[in-house]
Structure 1
Amino acid sequence: MIDPRTLREDPEAVRASQRARGEDTGLVDRLLELDERRRSAITRADSLRAEQKQLGKRIGQAAGEERESLLAQGKDLAAQVKEAEAEQVEAEEAFRELQAGLPNLVHPQTPAGGEDDYVVLKHVGTPPTFDGDPADHLDLGERLRALSTERGAKVSGARFYFLTGVGAQLELALLNLAVAQATEHGFQLMIPPVLVRPEIMAGTGFLGEHASEVYHLEQDDLYLVGTSEVSLAGYHSDEIVDLAGGPYRYAGWSTCFRREAGSYGKDTRGIIRVHQFNKVEMFVFCRPDDAESEHERLLAAEEEMLAKVELPYRVIDVAAGDLGTSASRKFDCEAWLPSQQTYREMTSTSNCTTFQARRLNTRYRDADGRPQPAATLNGTLATTRWLVAILENHQQPDGSVRVPEALRPYLGGREVLEPAG
């Protein structure tokens, strides 16, 4: 959630953020009204409690008829206090409920607009050329006996798959390469739970507009995570972290689950858009003043990984209307897919400022020792979808696939994946 002081002191900035996202600016006015009601209720309740305290002192010193009169006043005042406290609770709950639906403030440099209004920041590498049409990753994977979507659908339904043989080995190689890079750069490796409680899922902002994407186990009231960002964000919930020595940097390896609601008919071939996949996710807790430099650090780490697996890619600054609820700014790295002749998202890194930490009550102590909300950031370092780009960009005329040099140590030195006989 955003800082209520920002809402009160600069409501136009909040309205501008809502406009940039294509969201309802009227929400700001409704929040301001509820905030005024909430603060008035707090003031009234505090005033009545103070009056009640003073009356209690007078009753203790009084006797006879005066005492009886004061006791009657006390009874009436107690009823008023109870009513005021009920009004305070109701006003605060109404404010929090509406506030929870307000997305994070958009960074001033974030492009306005929707999904197609991103800004390309740079291109890196040259897309490969082929004699004839390049094969897509599914054809290549089937020739290598690296994956099977047909059997995945037979066992689990549409958008599930098996990674088999060299396919499974290639994914493990990729994720282990990501882990090696993360730990080399000071990230603590984590294997987090993939089921989380409702308050953790809600705290990260995934139960608002993205609720339809999340798998919910009703009997246990637990949610399957779509990214280990959720579990890692909750790791320090209701804690005061010590950031005196610098940011906390974690790298979470987990299986992820997404319902892909509303995406039917999109990328149904192969493993581009699936319900289950594996991912190494970077996550950072830092002081708000360090958030932008940490964001650049996460983007640089993603680019380093893409360079290691020798993929041509571009970096885009995602438009406000395509940001998640908790993101203030997001950069995507999109790799070239020869079969589609376009760039497709491989990684994304988001600066969530203090939005998630406020909801999850994760704080640090400032220079004066006062608890303040921390900032959180996240970024993908490798995921199953990368196999699509690796197979397609490194395919060879005979149907084999060249293994990027950085992955070879994790594949027993293998340089080429050969089609199965």
Structure 2
Amino acid sequence: MIDLKTLRDDPEAVRASQRARGEDASLVDALLSADERRRSAVSQADNLRAEQKQLGKQVGKAKGEDREDLLTRAKELAAQVKEAEAEQSAADEELLRSQKAVSNVVEPDVPPGGEDDYAVLEHVGVPREFDFEIKDHVELGTAIGAFDMERGAKVAGARFYFLTGIGAQLELALLNMAAAQAAAAGFTLVVPPVLVRPEIMEGTGFLGAHATEVYRLEEDDLYLVGTSEVPLAGYHAGEIVDLSAGPLRYAGWSTCFRREAGSYGRDTRGIIRVHQFNKLEMFVYCRADEARDEHQRLLAWEEEMLAKIEVPYRVIDTAAGDLGASAARKFDCEAWVPSQQTYRELTSTSNCTTFQARRLNTRYRDEDGRPQIAATLNGTLATTRWIVAILENHQQPDGSVQVPEALRPFLGGREVLEPK
């Protein structure tokens, strides 16, 4: 949820953010109205309770006819207090609904527009020139025995797969390399639950516009996570965390589940856009004034990992209309995919400012000991999809694949993946 102080101080900035996202700016006015109603209801209830308390003291001292008059007034006042508290409760609920309807305020430098309106911040590496016919990752992976798409579909349906043999080893090697980097950078490694309660899923902002992406177990009222960002955001829900020594950094290794609703026909061949995959996700709690610098650190750690797999990539600043509700800014790193002659996302990192932590009531104490809302950020360090970029960029004329040097120690020293 956005900060109500920001809303009151600069409502036009919130309206501008909504317009940049392509969302309804009138929701800001509805929130302003709900905020005013709630403040008025609180003031009215407080005044009546104060009057009730004062009247109670008078009743205790009064006698005779005066006492009877005061008791009559006390009865009337009790009814008024009850009505005022009911109005306050209704106003609280309206404010919460209105606050949840407004997305996070985007940072000033975020490009306006939709999915295709991103800004390219940098290109790293040059796409390789091939002097032989390029194979895509499905052909390469099938030839080396890395995965089995047909049996995945037979067992679980479209866009499921088996990682087999060297494919399973390759995924584990990638994730272990990412885990080693994260641990060396001071992250605490976590294997979290992949099922979460509704309040945790909602608290991270995934039950709004993107609710159709989420798998739900109705009988248990639990949700399968699409990223370990969700359980890690809930890890300190309702707590006051200690940020006196700096940000709290976690790296969550989990299986992720996404329905990929509405993506039919887009990257459905192979393992680019699938319903289940594994990922190592960085997640950070920090002070609000540290969040922008921390965002740059997360991006740098992602680029450090991409350098290790030796693929060309670009960094984009995602446009406002393509941001999730929780993100104030998001940078994506997209690797070159030779068979498609284009870039495809491998990592993303989002600064969610205080939006998630306000919903989940995660706070820290400032220098004066006063509780303040924490900021949260997340960033991908490796996923199953990285196999696509590795296979295609490092393929050889005979269908073999060279293993990037940094990855070899995590793959038993293997230098080349040979076709079977």
- TM-score category, normalised to shorter length: over 0.9
- Partners of 2:411 and 2:380 in 1: CA distance: 22
SS in structure 2 of the partner of residue 123 of structure 1:
strand
Compare 263-272 and 166-175 and name the one that shifted more: 263-272
Matched, 1:67 2:67: yes
SS in structure 1 of the partner of residue 101 of structure 2:
coil
SS in structure 2 of the partner of residue 345 of structure 1:
strand
SS in structure 2 of the partner of residue 193 of structure 1:
coil
- Checking the alignment, whether the CA contact within 8 Å between 1:352 and 1:375 is kept in structure 2 is yes
1:297: how far off?
0.5
1:272: how far off?
0.4
Matched residue, 1:33: 33
Matched residue, 2:90: 90
Matched, 1:356 2:365: no
- Partners of 1:249 and 1:48 in 2: CA distance: 47
1:317: how far off?
0.5
SS in structure 2 of the partner of residue 100 of structure 1:
helix
- Partners of 2:203 and 2:153 in 1: CA distance: 33
Letter in 2 for 1:118: Y
- Partners of 1:85 and 1:97 in 2: CA distance: 18
Q: After superposition, what is the alpha-carbon deviation per residue over 1:316-369, rounded to whole angstroms, capped at 9, x for unaligned?
A: 000100001000010000000000000000000000001001000000111111
- Partners of 1:21 and 1:411 in 2: CA distance: 43
SS in structure 1 of the partner of residue 357 of structure 2:
helix
Unmatched tracts of structure 2, length 5 or more = none
Matched residue, 1:210: 210
Letter in 2 for 1:65: E
- Partners of 1:411 and 1:7 in 2: CA distance: 52
SS in structure 2 of the partner of residue 40 of structure 1:
helix
- Partners of 1:159 and 1:5 in 2: CA distance: 45
Q: After superposition, what is the alpha-carbon deviation per residue over 1:368-421, rounded to whole angstroms, capped at 9, x for unaligned?
A: 11000000000000000000010000000000000011111111111000000x
- Partners of 1:249 and 1:305 in 2: CA distance: 17
Q: How many residues align?
A: 420
- Checking the alignment, whether the CA contact within 8 Å between 2:132 and 2:397 is kept in structure 1 is no
Letter in 1 for 2:119: V
- Partners of 1:72 and 1:148 in 2: CA distance: 81
1:128: how far off?
1.1
- Partners of 2:239 and 2:168 in 1: CA distance: 38
SS in structure 2 of the partner of residue 294 of structure 1:
helix
- Partners of 2:75 and 2:162 in 1: CA distance: 71
Matched residue, 1:225: 225
Matched, 1:237 2:274: no
- Partners of 2:381 and 2:101 in 1: CA distance: 29
- Partners of 1:249 and 1:268 in 2: CA distance: 34
1:131: how far off?
2.0
Letter in 1 for 2:406: A
TM alignment of 1:379-398, pairs within 5 A: 379-398=379-398
Q: After superposition, what is the alpha-carbon deviation per residue over 1:24-48, rounded to whole angstroms, capped at 9, x for unaligned?
A: 1111111111111111111100000
TM-score by length of 1: 0.99
Matched residue, 2:287: 287
1:267: how far off?
1.2
Letter in 2 for 1:164: T
Matched, 1:345 2:345: yes
- Partners of 1:6 and 1:301 in 2: CA distance: 31
Compare 58-67 and 383-392 and name the one that shifted more: 58-67
SS in structure 2 of the partner of residue 20 of structure 1:
helix
- Partners of 1:133 and 1:419 in 2: CA distance: 16
Matched residue, 1:133: 133
Matched residue, 1:319: 319
Matched, 1:408 2:405: no
SS in structure 1 of the partner of residue 85 of structure 2:
helix
Matched residue, 1:175: 175
- Partners of 2:229 and 2:183 in 1: CA distance: 17
Q: After superposition, what is the alpha-carbon deviation per residue over 1:219-245, rounded to whole angstroms, capped at 9, x for unaligned?
A: 111110000000001111101111110
Matched residue, 2:375: 375
TM alignment of 1:41-120, pairs within 5 A: 41-120=41-120
- Checking the alignment, whether the CA contact within 8 Å between 1:133 and 1:339 is kept in structure 2 is no
- Partners of 2:267 and 2:309 in 1: CA distance: 23
- Partners of 1:68 and 1:241 in 2: CA distance: 53
Q: After superposition, what is the alpha-carbon deviation per residue over 1:257-302, rounded to whole angstroms, capped at 9, x for unaligned?
A: 0000111121111010000000000000001111111101000000
SS in structure 2 of the partner of residue 56 of structure 1:
helix
1:5: how far off?
1.2
Matched residue, 1:24: 24
- Partners of 2:13 and 2:73 in 1: CA distance: 47
1:60: how far off?
0.6
- Partners of 1:133 and 1:9 in 2: CA distance: 60
Runs of 4+ in 1 over 4 A off after TM superposition: none
User: How big is the alpha-carbon RMSD for the aligned residues of Structure 1 and Structure 2?
Assistant: 0.7
- Partners of 1:364 and 1:237 in 2: CA distance: 12
Matched residue, 1:399: 399
SS in structure 2 of the partner of residue 326 of structure 1:
coil
Matched, 1:307 2:320: no
Letter in 2 for 1:116: D
TM-score by length of 2: 0.99
SS in structure 2 of the partner of residue 277 of structure 1:
strand
Unmatched tracts of structure 1, length 5 or more = none
- Checking the alignment, whether the CA contact within 8 Å between 2:173 and 2:407 is kept in structure 1 is yes
